[in-house]
Structure 1
Amino acid sequence: MTPTRPTLVVGATGTTGSRTATRLLATGHPVRAASRRGTPLSGAEAVRFDWYDPTTHDAALTGADRVHLVPPVGDPDPAAVMLPFLERARSLGVRRAVLLSSSAVPEGGPAVGRVHQALPSLFEEWAVLRPSWFMQNFTGAHLHAATIRESGAFATATGDGRVAYVDADDIAAVAVRALTDEDAPNRDLVLTGPEALTHDEIATILTEVTGRPVAHHRLTVAEVRHRLTEQSGIPPEFAALLADMDHAIATGAESRTTDAVRHLTGRPPGDFRTAVERETALAL
């Protein structure tokens, strides 16, 4: 059943938010596209939204039936702004909430893990999407993609650890089902691609697809933390969190695949090579 009230998509100009909003519109679901600048999205109602400006919250929420939540980027404690927002959402009649989290962050864990833990007590209909790292990290605006374009290399502290990178298109496809299916998942969903790759293997695929050499430089956790803070301007606390995630990958934390994408969408997840070929073609 297609809801007549709009779905609020927070972060509607971002990697997953834009894809989710576009897919919702394509299937006939009304969308309220929220972003800090209120950027227009064809077919959607645009609204200005800032996690840190509560005066923008009611206009975004009023009349909405469901909400797709993308946490504020770079905030080591997003619960401080997200939980009051979600309580307000419930009071204004939002029935279902779908939260974008991470495979690396468990319920009750750091950062968005606290929001994950609170969600079931706030909404009867909910889902938490816990995707692995995005394939688009190597083709979009992420630090890895930027350094590949600048120097033909990217750096991690992941060693020989494996990651089942997931396509942002697949994340959006799952998000749409979690938002619109008659029955909400009411659980967390770990989303991965079909295979777990080392970053050396990723560099090889990028070299083969793009036709230009791409190298993976191995750093220590301390070197990654320093690089993120000194070269990228990331706050020290959040840089430490990201560096620790690299260490977790090195010790095998992300060396897994799941069937969640297939279960929710009815099709297998896309593989890394295909995603890079598609994204590279779109950039030309």
Structure 2
Amino acid sequence: MTVLVLGASGTTGSRLVRQLLEHDISVRRAGRSPSAPSVHGRGAGAVADVRFDWTDPATFAPAVRDVHAVYVVAPPGVADPEPIMIPFLVEAQRAGVQRVALLSSSAIPVGGIGARLADFVPGWTILRPTWFASNFTGDHLHARSARADGEIVSATEDGRVPFIDPDDIAAVARHVLAGPEAPCGDLVLTGPEPLTFDDVAAQLSAHTGRTVRHRRISVTDLSARLRGDGIPGAFADLLAGMDAAIAQGAEDRTTSVVEEITGRPARSFRSFLSR
């Protein structure tokens, strides 16, 4: 069995690649500039790299050839990815791909490309995680502002989010792509505990030993801030609107899907920081 992973160097894709290899499942990593094929880890399946570019449909067919399942990450920064993704799914169907897991978001209702997956593959799953716990680490804007200015900035007000460890998303993806059965449908993935951004700031402060505060701004100001960070205008407006939805309670819920699929509970934000 070979699993094609789009976005293989990304937050969830890189973790999925690692987990698949740890379970002796061969992986084809997709990227714009693939490196030389190699084998990773003791007892791991083979891992090969293939060129893939959403803007170059000629890369679609070679990527899906002889592949059992595909982890699909939509083109980044595109408000309506359906016209770009349909030709890829057509190639996946022609190649006999059996399963697809589409990474979406709990903030986006199922529709568009998600509603059409069943037209192309017999086994399909839409993974709709809430906001990533990793948004406060690495090079993310929240992490950079926490380090540079001692603050995280949002328009979420007192809204709560059950931040999810990306490793948990990857674990669910591995089960639905390479497990005995593929659950067809829409899976909303959350962490175990909804937190306000004030709560997050407090946990970051406790973890780092440096004071981090939550600065509240308007949706309009947030959009301008995101544009200033290089995010295209329409996508910045979309992200700022998601903060407004959080403020209105859109993400204030938890699900048990991670445990139901993987057999273990979702990790908390505090546990993510500790790891």
Normalization by structure 2: what TM-score?
0.95
Which of 26, 30, 46 does residue 34 from structure 1 map onto? 30
**2:47 aligned with 1:50:** no
User: Partner of 1:195 in structure 2?
Assistant: 193
**Alpha-carbon distance in structure 2 between the residues aligned to 1:90 and 1:149:** 46
**Alpha-carbon distance in structure 1 between the residues aligned to 2:239 and 2:83:** 20
Which of 237, 240, 244 does residue 243 from structure 1 map onto? 240
**Alpha-carbon distance in structure 1 between the residues aligned to 2:221 and 2:210:** 26
**2:210 aligned with 1:207:** no
**Alpha-carbon distance in structure 2 between the residues aligned to 1:39 and 1:256:** 41
SS in 2 for 1:154: strand
Aligned 8 A contact 1:39 1:48 in 2: no
Map residues 53-64 of structure 1 onto 2, 5 A cutoff: 53-64=56-67
Map residues 195-274 of structure 1 onto 2, 5 A cutoff: 195-229=193-227, 231-274=228-271
Could you tell which deviates more after superposition, 137-146 or 188-197? 137-146
**2:91 aligned with 1:88:** yes
User: Partner of 1:79 in structure 2?
Assistant: 82
SS in 2 for 1:185: coil
SS in 2 for 1:244: helix
RMSD: 1.1
SS in 1 for 2:153: strand
**Alpha-carbon distance in structure 1 between the residues aligned to 2:130 and 2:155:** 17
**Alpha-carbon distance in structure 2 between the residues aligned to 1:11 and 1:75:** 15
SS in 2 for 1:163: coil
**Alpha-carbon distance in structure 1 between the residues aligned to 2:50 and 2:256:** 35
**Alpha-carbon distance in structure 1 between the residues aligned to 2:145 and 2:34:** 30
User: Partner of 1:104 in structure 2?
Assistant: 107
Aligned 8 A contact 2:57 2:87 in 1: no
SS in 2 for 1:38: coil
**Where does structure 1 differ by over 4 angstroms across 4 or more consecutive aligned residues?**
none
Could you tell which deviates more after superposition, 85-94 or 201-210? 85-94
Paired positions, count: 268
Normalization by structure 1: what TM-score?
0.92
Percent identity between the aligned chains? 49
**Alpha-carbon distance in structure 2 between the residues aligned to 1:84 and 1:142:** 31
SS in 2 for 1:160: coil
User: Partner of 2:139 in structure 1?
Assistant: 141
User: Partner of 2:4 in structure 1?
Assistant: 8
User: Partner of 1:120 in structure 2?
Assistant: 118
- What is the deviation of 1:121? 2.1
User: Partner of 2:170 in structure 1?
Assistant: 172
**Alpha-carbon distance in structure 1 between the residues aligned to 2:240 and 2:192:** 25
Could you tell which deviates more after superposition, 86-95 or 143-152? 143-152
> Over residues 52-77 of structure 1, what are the superposed CA-to-partner deviations in whole Å (9 max), with x where a residue is unaligned?
11122122111111100011111111
- What is the deviation of 1:141? 2.4
**Alpha-carbon distance in structure 2 between the residues aligned to 1:149 and 1:72:** 29
Structure 1: state its 5+ residue gaps.
109-113, 279-284
Aligned 8 A contact 1:13 1:39 in 2: no
